[in-house]
Amino acid sequence: MKKVLLLVVVILLTHFCVLAQTDTSFLYFNKSWKSCNKDTAFYYATIYKDGNVWSRKDYWMKGNILQMEGSYLKKDCKTEDGLFKWYRENGTLINIKLYEKGNTNNITIYYEDGKKRATAFYKKNVQTNAIGWDENGQEIPDFVFEREAKFPGGLIGWRTYLEKNLNSNVAADANAPVGAYTVKVQFIVNKEGAIENVHAISVPEKCVQCGVEAIRVISNGPSWEPAIQYNRRVIYQALQYVSFQVAEEKKGGS
C-alpha cells in the first residue's frame, strides 16, 4: 500500500512540474532578431514562469541549439534578473552576465577553448573594475575591458572643433525658418581611428544643406581615439549629432 501511495505522489509531483511549464510562449525571429513567423525564423525563444521570474531560452532553429538562457522579472522580458549565459553554436560559452533587477553586476567573457578571457564589475551599470587574461591564463596588466571610440579631447574637444570648423550659418543661408535643426550622422571609426563611410541618417526636411555640412565637418575632422574591446582595438560604428540654429532677428527699438 505504501508503495502504491508513493507512486501516486511521484506521479502527481511529475504532473505538477509538467503543468508548471505548459504555459510556455514561443517567439520567432529572423537573423536580425526581428519578429517573424515560424516558417521564416532563424532563431526562436521559449518563455515560461519559473517561481518568481520568467525564464527565457533562445535557440537556433536549425538543430534546436541553445543560444542564450536567462530570467526576467516579467513576461515582457524587459528587466533581467539573475544569471544569463550565451553560447556558441558548438555549445561552448561566450559569456556569462549577472543582473539584479535590470542592473549589471558583472560580466565574464570566455575564449573558445573555455578559458576565461575577461571579467568586468559594475555598480549601477557603471564599470568599476576589470581583469583580463591572455590565452595562457596570465593576467594582462592595465587591461581595458571596453571603451568607446571618442573624439580627441572628448566632448570639450568636439565642441572646440565645431566652433572653429562648422559653418553655423548654413540653415540661415538656406532660408530655413526660425528654429533648431539637428542632423544625425553615422560613420565608422576603424582600428587606427580613421573616419570612414560617413553618411547622414536623419536630415531636417527644411534644411537639406545642414546634412551636407554635417557630413563635411565630420569627414574633414581629425582621427578619433579607436574603440577598445578586451584590450584590443576594434572597428566602431559611431553616431554623432550636429545642430544648427536659426535665431529670430531682434527688431531695433527707437
Instruction: Tell whether 65 and 127 lie within a shared domain.
Output: yes
Residue 11 pLDDT class (50, 70, 90 cuts): very low
CA dihedral (131, 135, 140, 145) in degrees, to 10, reads -40
Average of per-residue pLDDT values in the chain: 90
CA pair distance 141, 245, nearest whole angstrom: 47
Residue 129's CATH number: 3.90.930
> What's the structural domain count of the chain?
2
> Percent of the chain scored above 70 by pLDDT?
89
Which residues constitute the domain of residue 196? 154-246
Query: Residues 206, 125: one domain?
Result: no
Average pLDDT over residues 44-66: 96
- How high is the pLDDT of residue 5? 42
Q: How far apart are CA 61 and CA 36, in angstroms?
A: 13
What CATH number has the domain bearing residue 195?
3.30.1150
Residue 12 lies in a domain: no
CA angle 240, 150, 33 (to 5 degrees): 60
Query: Which element (helix H / strand E) includes 65?
Result: strand 65-72
Does 28 lie in the same domain as 140?
A: yes
